[in-house]
Structure 1
Amino acid sequence: MANSINRRNWIKTSAFMAGSVTFFSGALNKLSAMPMKVKNVFTSTDLVTDEQVILQAPGVMKARLSANENPFGPSPAAKKAMTEAMETCYQYPFMKTRELMGKIAEFEGVKQNNILMDAGSSPLLHAAAMFYGKNGAEIITGDPSYNDLASSAANLGSKIIKVPLTADYKLDLDAMEAKVGPNTGLVYICNPNNPTATVVDTAKLKAFCERVSKKAVVFVDEAYIDYMPDPQASSVMSSVKAGQNIIVARTFSKLYGFAGLRCGYIIALPDTVKNLSGYATGMMSLAATTVAAAAVAYQEKEFLQDALKKTMASKEFLYALLKKEGYTYIPSSANFVMFPINMEGSKFSQEMNNRGVSIRTWKFNNKDWCRVSIGRMDEMQAFADAFKQLS
């Protein structure tokens, strides 16, 4: 893992290549002043990254189902806005960014000083890792869960406490709370969780946030919240508005189809936003085309519902396939499904690659698992054709 390509290194490299040294230098200066004790804590559940899988895949793929991307977006309106934004892309998109932040603030019922935007949620996760994981502080996370924040903190010398999931593959909030101590810097909750696509009870999560945030900041990553039947009801955004020490992360990379455009944000208390802004690349990393597209696409309900409907149809196709082939799976609340496989993970991944299909694999609970992203129906058929040859 020490030599693996990851989004964090890509972001830092891209920032320099884009001429963003001025805006990124503050974060790098703070990073350089911190002790660099590198640890490799993710040895079993996180064998490779999404990026590695894609980079190692054949040039021509029948189905790219390894990175939880939404192949149905962005919307026509977003594409039109990007095209029009090219005319003035020589200008910094200050006004458009403020317009987008205003829309987010109005919809969520917060103020703009509660919002910190960046080129996707990854640099915001990294900023939280730097700020809350410094001086060897503890970061508590699920196992398995999305590891971007935790692995960043580990590489900076933080102590990572991984808490196994429950028997039904959900984050164990009780066990995580029991691990909170005087040296805890942050508790990371990915809900819906990645890679299991499971969710925790909303009322229980809100109660957890209220209690734990009095001891340590709680970072709730809601990257996949838009795939829930009622995203607002499932969110802990109200915990921030209640003045709790909570950070809520959102991204346009999933249901909005902006994975390659890079746009994300966090909502938190103003002091938290101020603290993290010194470690994040910030809204100056957002391209004019991305901002214009996001401002148009934000809460574009008709398109989002259409993308969600197509995702559900492809997911039901996958469920039926797995049942027919005699496989169980974890019921999914996101745009990916995880199921145990009857082959060693790396071999299964390679065999699927050889058949033009990229997927992800994990190993936990003494089992090998496949995580397959939900694609277009033609991609799901390509997965089915390849999977039947191996099942």
Structure 2
Amino acid sequence: MSESLWRSSVKDLDPYIPGQAAEEAKKQAELTDVIRLATNENQLGPSPKAIEAMVKAIQEAHFYPDLTCLELRTKLGALHGIDPENYVIANGADNIINLVIASYINPGDEVVYCTPTFSEYHKNTLLMGGVPVEIPTTKDHKFDLEAMLEAINEKTKLVIVCNPNNPTGTIVEEEELREFFKRVPKHVVAVLDEAYGEFINRENYATGVEYIKEGLPVITIRTFSKLYGLAGMRVGYAMARPELIQPLQRVREPFACNRVAHAGALGALEDVEHKNKTLSDNKREMEKLVKEFRAFGYEVEESHTNFLFVDMKQETGSIGAELASQGLIIRPCAAWGHPTHARISIGTAEQNDKLLKALQEINAKAPHHA
């Protein structure tokens, strides 16, 4: 009876399935210590300045937060050189994705993107009665921009490029991306999801900030969950030219970013030293993991994120289960259509050493080592 009352598009949705929670793993395996390398969190945690700001903000929790996050928009504007009015702050990047699609998609409108990628594009398109048009990534696991352009027709309303892509960690060539945005027809809105954009380790690589300044019609999405270690606070934002950002400002719920999260984001932006340490530690540990994984016989894509997309040459569900029994959680990629791949977050040096030791023991027990 109750299901018959649902909005029809809700029946087509699959609930979002995150990486296994540490609390769940502890309970299942009766462990006291769990290392979660499945959800691309910053293992250093948030900046001390962010923590201090959040503790202070908790004491004012009885006050509603700033409706439009003016102070954060002003600080981001100064950081990027973009007018503060051209930002929307919300409850994480996934909330921003929801706002973008809700702002532009009518029933029957098509949304073009590549797969595998972040599942919320598919879910939110269906929720609005839109039609997801999913293009396979290239053989080297990058967004196929040319194929996306070929898929655009009179029904297309949005094109979404996840760069760096999740779960592959890959980026497209800068000039190819710039040319793509120039070639997108005027009846189509281009979206650039840069949740991992700050991790791109290519010098002078242009990001959405540059494209917006160049006058290209692009909505760029960023988050404080990854680089800044505020995944639990949920702070994401979009930036774009005024005519593209205005509908998001209308759709956005009144208090989409809470007072404590807003304070944490402000504190995080103040701490350049913590940000730089995160980037340098991530680069060092990623290089170590890539070297060791390849020594195991795994194939590893070049990554511009805080995780690796690893072909372990065997079904990763069983490997993931064995690691979980030891308190190490990785993300098998069968749900993305890659049963021999895993997405593995970059941990601290100690965490990564434990992972490598556990994998070495698992590999030693494998039949081809007998």
TM over 0.5: yes
One-letter identity of the residue aligned with 2:291: A
Which residue of 315, 318, 334 corresponds with 2:286? 315
Deviations 1:228-258 (A, max 9, x none): 2368743022332344331100101001001
Could you tell me which residue of structure 1 aligns to residue 366 of structure 2?
A: none
Shift of residue 151 of structure 1? 2.0
Shift of residue 63 of structure 1? 1.4
Which residue of 128, 137, 152 corresponds with 1:180? 152
Secondary structure of 1:262's partner? coil
1:39 aligned onto 2:12? yes
Could you tell me which residue of structure 2 aligns to residue 49 of structure 1?
A: 17
1:237 aligned onto 2:205? no
Alpha carbons of 1:279 and 1:164: their partners in 2 closer, same or farther (altered >3 Å)? same
Checking the alignment, whether the CA contact within 8 Å between 1:38 and 1:156 is kept in structure 2 is no
One-letter identity of the residue aligned with 2:17: T
Could you tell me which residue of structure 2 aligns to residue 135 of structure 1?
A: 107
1:104 aligned onto 2:72? no
1:338 aligned onto 2:306? no
Deviations 1:119-157 (A, max 9, x none): 211111112222333212111111111121222212443
Which residue of 299, 320, 326 corresponds with 1:349? 320
Deviations 1:288-344 (A, max 9, x none): 222122112216322211111111122122112212212121111100001112332
Checking the alignment, whether the CA contact within 8 Å between 1:35 and 1:157 is kept in structure 2 is no
Could you tell me which residue of structure 1 aligns to residue 331 of structure 2?
A: 360
Secondary structure of 2:303's partner? coil
Alignment of 1:49-198 (within 5 A): 49-52=17-20, 56-59=24-27, 60-94=32-66, 97-198=69-170
Counterpart Cα distance in 2 of 1:334 and 1:208: 22
Secondary structure of 2:114's partner? strand
Deviations 1:267-289 (A, max 9, x none): 0222332212333335x232222
Secondary structure of 2:172's partner? coil
Alignment of 1:241-252 (within 5 A): 241-252=213-224
Checking the alignment, whether the CA contact within 8 Å between 1:73 and 1:307 is kept in structure 2 is no
Secondary structure of 2:311's partner? strand
Alpha carbons of 1:128 and 1:52: their partners in 2 closer, same or farther (altered >3 Å)? farther
Which residue of 225, 248, 265 corresponds with 1:276? 248
Unaligned runs of 5+ in 2: 364-370
Which residue of 196, 203, 217 corresponds with 1:224? 196
Counterpart Cα distance in 2 of 1:260 and 1:37: 26
Counterpart Cα distance in 2 of 1:95 and 1:280: 10
Deviations 1:43-100 (A, max 9, x none): xxxx972255657533444310010111113111111112222333322342993121
1:295 aligned onto 2:266? yes
Percent of aligned pairs sharing the same letter: 28
Shift of residue 109 of structure 1? 2.0
Checking the alignment, whether the CA contact within 8 Å between 2:178 and 2:211 is kept in structure 1 is yes
Could you tell me which residue of structure 2 aligns to residue 369 of structure 1?
A: 341
Checking the alignment, whether the CA contact within 8 Å between 2:282 and 2:306 is kept in structure 1 is yes
Shift of residue 164 of structure 1? 1.1
Between the two proteins, the alignment pairs up a number of residues equal to: 355
One-letter identity of the residue aligned with 1:303: H
Secondary structure of 1:381's partner? helix
Q: CA RMSD in A?
A: 2.7
TM-score, normalisation: structure 1: 0.83
| Range moving further from structure 2, 194-203 or 91-100 | 91-100
One-letter identity of the residue aligned with 1:212: V
Alpha carbons of 1:186 and 1:88: their partners in 2 closer, same or farther (altered >3 Å)? same
Checking the alignment, whether the CA contact within 8 Å between 2:25 and 2:34 is kept in structure 1 is no
